[in-house]
Amino acid sequence: MKHWKKITLSVLAILTCSITLYAYAVTHPTNAMSHKACTSWDIVKHKAFQLSHTDYSNQSVLDRSTFKIEEGTATEVPVLMYHYIEPKLNNNQTGNKSIISLEDFEQNMKYLHDEGYRTITLDQLEQYVNGKLSLPLKSIVITFDDGYQNNYTLAYPVLQKYNFHASLFVIGSKIQDQPSESGPAINSFISKPEMQAATDVFEFNSHTYNLHHKGFMRCGNSVPVGLDTRLLDEDVQQMKQTGIDTPYLAYPFGYTSTQMIYKLQQHGYRMAFTVKPGFVHPGDDLMKLPRLTVTTGTDLAALLQPGSSPQNELPSSEDDQ
């Protein structure tokens, strides 16, 4: 009896020690082992969140087992992602993956036009993913993140030239009341008059109001503050007050979480984009759609080939990959 009691006490001691060490590793991720423990605990929390929130769903409304794509229509849709545009002579940050030269951007648009690509709206893409709309072959979505002024001064005329449509995911707090008098610069963002003037080409969607910066700590890393879901309620309301009342969003830096998605869905968001590379298909998770990053030197023809594996992906950290 005493022997079994000693064994029981030993097992309890080991378990207590293990739990204590695991808890310390989760709250103090200072090495690879403890970082892995923290990440695993994050996964447990996300799964627990899903189980405790029965109204949360990441299931497609489309039954892939019975859905058939109409013959002669798009089996997948590429979503291109651009950021900052600058004439080649002015670009002093050649290693910056967020910049594409104006010359390369013009070549991109000419290539798409000459190859017969057709740009679609985000509403059309949403219907396509839900299996409610068939799209022509070579349908494509063009997106810009952040809302720089050069998206209007430089990209807009090129898009207009080829009769292309695009979505601009703007940071609400960066929208200016009036255009910058000094001309496009690295910290120059689009203004309300410029947005109004560009509605024949651009639709404007959310990149959050003021959550496009890091400072929230998770597993020892500084990650985008949007992962702190306590900030989302006010941020969404502020975004709507700017006039950007939309069901479409691009995650800052591509980071998201189960809790963040749930909160966004509660506020009426129906479709959101990451920075993970890939093509969009009917039945995909609408809140985690992939995009293809395009920058200076990108071989667009190769990028648009089915099954391509883009090498210019921007950093991402999804909780349930």
> Is 74 a member of any domain?
no
More confident residue, 231 or 18: 231
Same domain, 255 and 299: yes
Tokens of 247: 């069901």
CATH of the domain at 239: 3.20.20.370
Q: What is the DSSP string of 93-112?
A: -TT-TTEEEHHHHHHHHHHH
> Is 177 a member of any domain?
yes
Same domain, 204 and 277: yes
Buried b (16+ CB within 10 A) or exposed e, 26-55: beebeeeebbebbeebbeeebeeebeeeee
Q: Which amino acid is at 36?
A: K
Same domain, 181 and 216: yes
Same domain, 100 and 25: no
Q: What is the DSSP string of 182-250?
A: T---TT-B-BHHHHHHTTTTEEEEES-SS--SEEEEETTEEEEGGGSGGGHHHHHHHHHHTT---SEEE
Same domain, 46 and 167: no
Contact 91, 99 (CB under 8 A): yes
Same domain, 19 and 116: no
CA dihedral 264, 230, 176, 199 (to 10 degrees): 0
The domain total for the chain is: 2
Give per-residue pLDDT as tens, 53-68.
767 667 677 888 889 9
Same domain, 131 and 87: yes
> Is 256 a member of any domain?
yes
Same domain, 39 and 84: no
Which residues are registered as beta bridge partners of 293? 81
pLDDT of residue 123: 98
State the burial class of residue 9 (Cβ atoms within 10 Å of its Cβ: 0-12, 13-18, 19+). exposed
> Is 316 a member of any domain?
no
> Is 73 a member of any domain?
no
Same domain, 132 and 29: no
Average pLDDT, the chain: 85
CA angle in degrees (0–180, nearest 5) for 84-86-87: 160
Supply the pTM of this predicted model.
0.83
> Is 249 a member of any domain?
yes
pLDDT of residue 9: 57
Same domain, 144 and 12: no
pLDDT of residue 311: 41
Same domain, 102 and 224: yes
> Is 321 a member of any domain?
no
CA 321 vs. chain centroid, Å, equals 14
> Is 115 a member of any domain?
yes
Q: Rounded mean pLDDT of 285-313?
A: 84
Give per-residue pLDDT as tens, 245-280.
999 999 999 999 999 999 999 999 999 999 999 999
Same domain, 27 and 88: no
Q: Rounded mean pLDDT of 180-206?
A: 88
Place 97 in a pLDDT band, splitting at 50, 70 and 90: confident
Q: How many other β-carbons are positioned within 10 Å of the β-carbon of residue 62?
A: 17
Give per-residue pLDDT as tens, 131-173.
999 999 999 999 999 999 999 999 999 999 999 999 999 999 9
Give the structural domain span for 8.
2-52
